[in-house]
Chains A and B, each alone.
Chain A
Amino acid sequence: MDGSTMSRGLLRVLTCGSVDDGKSTLIGRLLYDSQMIMEDTLAAITRDSRKHGTVGEEVDLALLVDGLEAERQQGITIDVAYRFFTTPRRSFIVADCPGHEQYTRNMATGASNSELAIILVDARKGLLTQTRRHSYICSLLGIRHVVLAVNKIDLVNFDQQVFDRIVGEYATFAAGFGFHTMVPIPVSGRFGDNVSTRSGNTPWYRGETLLEHLESVSVEEELTQIPFRFPVQWVNRPNQDFRGFSGTVASGAVAVGENIVVAASGVSSHVTRILGPAGDQERASAGESITICLADEVDVARGDVLAPIADRPAVADQFAAHLLWMDEEAMLPGRQYMMRVGNVWTSASVTSIKHRVDVATLDHQSATRLSLNEIGLCNLSTAQRVAMDPYAQNRLTGAFILVDRFTNRTAGCGMINFALRRATNVHHEHFLVDKAARATALRQKPMLLWFTGLSGSGKSTVAKLVEQALHRAGRHTYSLDGDNLRHGLNRDLGFTDQDRVENIRRVGEVAKLMVDAGLIVLASFISPFRAERQMVREMLGEREFLEVFVDTPIEICMQRDVKGLYAKAKRGEIANFTGVTSPYEPPEAADLVLDGSGPAADALAQQVLDMIERRMADG
C-alpha cells in the first residue's frame, strides 16, 4: 500500500432509516461500488434477484445486506448487523439496524459505537416523524457528524427544489442537536447517483459524493485534547518485580514522568513506564491499549480511574442522566439494578424520573416508570462512589449500562449529565450508643425475619405465633404487617408495580431502623418481586436478614380466601392482584421454605424458631 492509503484510518458509520427509504439498497450500493462484493456472492444475489428481487432484471443490491428477513420471520431480534468495506483511502464499519419495533434500542446500540450517521430521507416523502426520532437519538448518543442522504432523488426527477426544501426544513429542525457537520447529499441508491460517482442528473449539486465525503470527513474528536482518563481493566502482576495497570486510554494522553491520581482515593503517583503492544513507549493517547507502571506502591484495582491531578473526573454516588430503557420489563424507580460504568460494577437504582422524553415530538412528560424504548431524564444512586464525566464531555467515562440482577439482560443504557452535589454533602451521623451496644443491653441478636408468600398463604398467622413464642422467651420483638403499614406510612401507595417497589423500600428502611434499635423484627409482606426482597437483604446485610418463604399453592390460598380477596380479584374488582393478575416470583434461595399446604401453623412456627436459635448461637 502506498503512503496515502488508509491515511484517515477507520470510520464507524451508522445508517438510520427503514427499508422503505432504500437503506439496504444504499448500503448494498456502497459495498458494490467499493468492489467489496465477491463473484460468488454476486452470482448468488443475481440468482436471488430473479426470485425475490423487486427491481426487474437488474441486480437488487438490497439483497446483499438483507438476508435478515428470514430471521425476522422466525422472530429473531436483530439489533445491529455490521458491514465492512474498504476504499484505498479509508476503511469503514457500517452499523445497520434493521426493523421497526425495537428501533430506539437498536439505534442506540449502533450509535454508541459510531462517529457518523447517515440519515436517510425518501425524497418523495420528505422529513417524517422517524427522521426526527433518528436525529434525536443520534444527538443524545453523542454523534456529531451527520449526512442527510436525500434518497430516491431519481423518483422526483432530480428536482433541486425538492432537495432544497428538505434540506432547509432539516437544518431548522436539527439546529439544537449539536451536530458539528451536517452534509446533505442528493442520492439514488438504486442507480448510484452521487454515491460514489458524481451524477450528470444533478448538475445543480456541486458538493462531494457520499463516498468522497465519508472518505474525507474528519471525525477526530478532541478525544486527545480532553483530559486524560484511564479506566483500569486488569492489574498485571506476573511476578514480584512487575506491577502494571492495563487498560485502554479513554481520552487524552499520558507520558512517562507525568503525575496522575487515582480518582476515587485521591492517591497520587507518577508514571514510570508505559508498555504498548510493541513494548515500551514514551507516551500513549486515546484509544491505545497499554499497561502503565507507577512509581509508588499505590492501591489500584480494576475499576479505578487514573487521571491528571489538576483535572479529575467527578466522584459521586448520585447523578443525573438520560436513561434509555431496553428491556421488556419496565424500569421502576427504587428497584436495584447492576450498573457498569467504566470497569466498575456496582448496584444502582433510579431515585426519580424527572421527565420522560417523547422521542417523536421531544416533549417532556411526567412518568412513574420507563418502558421498553422509552427515554427519561433520571436521578440515579449507586452503592459505591464512582468516577464519571458528563457524557457530552466524554463518551466513554460518561456512559453506563444497567443490567437486570436476575436475568442478567442488559436492561438500559445511560448518558450522564452531571454528578449531584447533594451526595457529597450528606454524611452519616455517628452516635455514641450503637447497635451493638443496644443489642447487648437487650441480650439478643437483632435480625429481620422476612415472610414472603401469596395472599392467604399463612405468612401473618405463622409470624404471629413466632412472635408470641419469642415474647414468652423474653425477646424484644416488633411485627411489621403490610395491611397495617398501608393505613399509615404507606397510605399514599397503591398496588401498581412501582408502588409495590416503593412500599417494600420503605418497609425495608423502617425494619433497618428497628434492627438498629436492637429488635427482632418480623415482616409479613407478599413482596412478589425477587428484586425488592434482594434490595432489603442488601440493606440489612446477610447476617441480619432471614427470608422465610411460606410456600402455599395458589389453589389452597384461593380455597381459604380468608379476606375474600381472591373472589373479588376473579370478579375483576381488584386490579393487580398477586397470583391472579400480577406475578409472584418465588425465592430461589430462601433461608427457610415452609410447606404451607400441609403442617399445622404451630409446627411451621417451630421451624422458624429453630432457625432463629441457630442464628443466635452462631456467635
Chain B
Amino acid sequence: MQPVQTHSLSPHLRRLEAEGIAIIRETAASFRNPVLLYSIGKDSSVVLHLAMKAFAPGRIPFPLLHIATGWDFRDMLEFRDRRAAELGARLIVHTNPDGLARGIGPLTHGSQVHMDVMGTQALKQALDIGGYDAALGGARRDEEKARAKERVFSHRAPGHVWEPRGQRPELWGLYNTRIAPGETMRVFPISNWTEFDVWDYIAAEQIPVVPLYFAAERPVLRRGGALIMRDDDRMPLNEGEQIENMWVRFRTMGDWPLTGAHESRAQTMEEVLEELRLSRVSERHGRLIDNDQEASMERKKREGYF
C-alpha cells in the first residue's frame, strides 16, 4: 500500500521518524524471528506505521502480537481487528490460558496479580510459543524515570529476564544485536519520542488510533479518585457509586478497570494536541497499575513486563 503523503513534518519529527525506521529495519535484518508487540495504543500504532514505511513497497516481514487480558476495552479489540485486516498483517492474539482457567481478573485478584498473570506471564508464554528472538515495542524513555536509561536494544537473558549487567552501551547507531541461544532482545524504535511527538506525528501522518483517545460522552463511575468507564457489566457498583454520562477521553490504553479517564472535550486531533500543550499532569497519572507500589516500573521490567 502507498504510504500517506506526509505534509509538513518538522525537522525534529523527520529525524525521529528516520531513526525509528532504521531501528525497525535493523531488527528485521539482525534477528531470525522478530515480532511486533501491538498493544493497540497510540505508541504501538506509531511503531506499526513506521514498520510499514520501513519495508515499503513490500510488506512488514514479521507478525503482530497482541496480548489480550480479557479486560481490554471493546473498542480496542474492534480497532485491532480492523487495522490488521486493512494492512493485511499477520496478527497473533494470545491470552494466558492458565490465568483464564483460574478466572484471574483485576477486580477479583487486584491489579498486581492480574497484570502479572495476564500481562507479563502471558507475554512470556507467547514469545516462547512463537520462538521469537526479538520483540519490537512502543516504549518511550520519557514515560517514566525508570525508562530514561532503557536501551533501544534491551537484552533479555533466558527466561526473558532483564539483567542490569546484560545491558550494553549503545554508541552511534552501531547496535550490538548479537545474542546467544535462549536469549532475546526487546527493541524500542520510538525510545527518543515524547508523548507530544507521538501525537504530533499521528496528526501529521493521519494515523488511525482507537476512538477512546478522543472525547465522547461515556458511562463512567468514580472510584479511588479515578474515572472508570464501565465497559461491560463485570464490575459491580459499590454502595454510593453510580454511573454518570460524562465527556471524557483516555490518555493511555490498558485494561478498562485499570485505566482512568479524564474529563475532556477534545474531539479532534487538533484539540487533543492543544489539550496536551496546556496539560500539567503526566501521562501515567491515569494508569492505576503504576501507583501500586514504589518503583513499580523497575520491578515489572525485571520480571519481564514491557
Contacts and interface: CB of A to CB of B under 8 A. Distances in A.
Interface residues of A, number: 69
B55 interface: yes
B29 A234 contact: yes
Which 9 A-B pairs rank lowest in CB-CB distance, beginning with the nearest?
Answer: A238-B58, A9-B11, A278-B6, A112-B171, A38-B282, A289-B21, A289-B18, A76-B164, A81-B148
A326 B194 contact: no
Interface in B1-43: 2-6, 10-12, 14-19, 21-22, 25-26, 28-29
A401 B149 contact: no
Interface in A393-427: 395-396, 399-401, 403, 408-410, 413
A233 B26 contact: yes
A5 interface: yes
A234 B28 contact: yes
A67 interface: yes
Nearest to A105: B169
20 contacts: A38-B279, A38-B281, A40-B282, A76-B164, A79-B149, A82-B191, A113-B170, A233-B22, A234-B25, A236-B57, A238-B58, A247-B22, A247-B25, A278-B5, A287-B18, A288-B18, A289-B54, A401-B171, A408-B180, A410-B171
Given A233-B22, A248-B22, A238 B174 contact: no
B170 to A, nearest CB: 7
Contacts of B298: 71
A403 B178 contact: yes
B174 A82 contact: no
B169 A410 contact: yes
A279 interface: yes
Contacts of B5: 278-279
A279 B3 contact: yes
Which of A5, A70, A80, A91 is packed against the most chain B CB atoms within 10 Å?
A91
Interface in B243-292: 279-282, 285
A108 B172 CA distance: 10
Interface string A61-104: 00000011011000111111111101000010100000000000
Nearest to A9: B11
B77 to A, nearest CB: 29
A156 to B, nearest CB: 32
A9 B10 contact: yes
B239 to A, nearest CB: 29
B149 A82 contact: yes
A70 B295 contact: yes
Contacts of B281: 38-40
A42 to B, nearest CB: 9
Contacts of A82: 141, 148-149, 191-192
Contacts of A396: 172-173
A360 interface: no
Given A86-B196, A105-B169, A6 B11 contact: yes
A246 interface: yes
Contact of B171 (A70, A109, A238): A109
B15 A38 contact: no
B263 to A, nearest CB: 16
Given A234-B25, A275-B56, A77 B165 contact: yes
A340 to B, nearest CB: 5
A275 B29 contact: no
A287 B15 contact: yes
Instruction: Kindly name the residue among A248, A278, A413 whose own CB sees the greatest number of chain B CB atoms within 10 A.
Output: A278
Contacts of A410: 168-169, 171, 176
A41 B164 CA distance: 26
B59 interface: yes
A572 B197 CA distance: 63
Interface in A430-447: none
A76 B298 CA distance: 12
A10 B56 CA distance: 26
A118 B191 CA distance: 23
A409 B22 contact: no
Most chain A CB neighbours (cut-off 10 Å) among B10, B17, B176: B176
A263 interface: no
Given A68-B149, A78-B149, A289-B54, 8 more contacts: A7-B11, A38-B285, A40-B281, A76-B164, A84-B194, A279-B5, A326-B169, A399-B174
Interface string A342-358: 01010000000000000
B222 interface: no
A302 interface: yes
B72 interface: no
B173 to A, nearest CB: 7
Interface residues of B, number: 59
B29 A233 contact: yes
B269 to A, nearest CB: 13
Contacts of B173: 248, 396
B12 A113 contact: no
Given A76-B164, A278-B6, A242 B58 contact: yes
B223 interface: no
A277 interface: yes
A289 B5 CA distance: 16
Count chain A CB atoms within 10 A of each CB in B12, B169, B179 and give the residue with the most: B169
B169 A279 contact: no
Q: Which of B19, B149, B194 has the most CB of A within 10 A?
A: B149
A395 B197 CA distance: 27
A401 B57 contact: no
Contact of B58 (A10, A113, A236): A236
Interface string B186-197: 000001101011
Contacts of B19: 289
B12 A246 contact: no
Nearest to B21: A289
B116 interface: no
A149 interface: no
Contacts of A605: none
A246 B192 CA distance: 22
B148 to A, nearest CB: 4
A519 interface: no
A338 interface: yes
B206 to A, nearest CB: 12
B231 interface: no
Contacts of B280: 38-39
Nearest to A248: B22
Contact of B192 (A93, A233, A326): A93
B276 to A, nearest CB: 11
Contact of B176 (A41, A70, A278, A408): A408
A274 to B, nearest CB: 13
B82 to A, nearest CB: 24
Nearest to A343: B29
Contacts of A106: 169
B241 to A, nearest CB: 25
Contacts of A109: 169-171
A84 B143 CA distance: 10
B303 interface: no
A401 B3 contact: no
A9 B5 CA distance: 21
A39 B282 CA distance: 8
Contact of A113 (B55, B165, B172): B172
B53 interface: yes
B59 A6 contact: no
B145 interface: yes
A10 B11 contact: yes
Contact of A338 (B16, B172, B178, B279): B178
Given A67-B145, A82-B149, A408-B178, A278 B282 contact: no
B285 A40 contact: yes
A589 B240 CA distance: 68
B149 A277 contact: no
A616 B145 CA distance: 62
A351 to B, nearest CB: 22
Most B CB within 10 A of own CB, among A79, A105, A395: A79
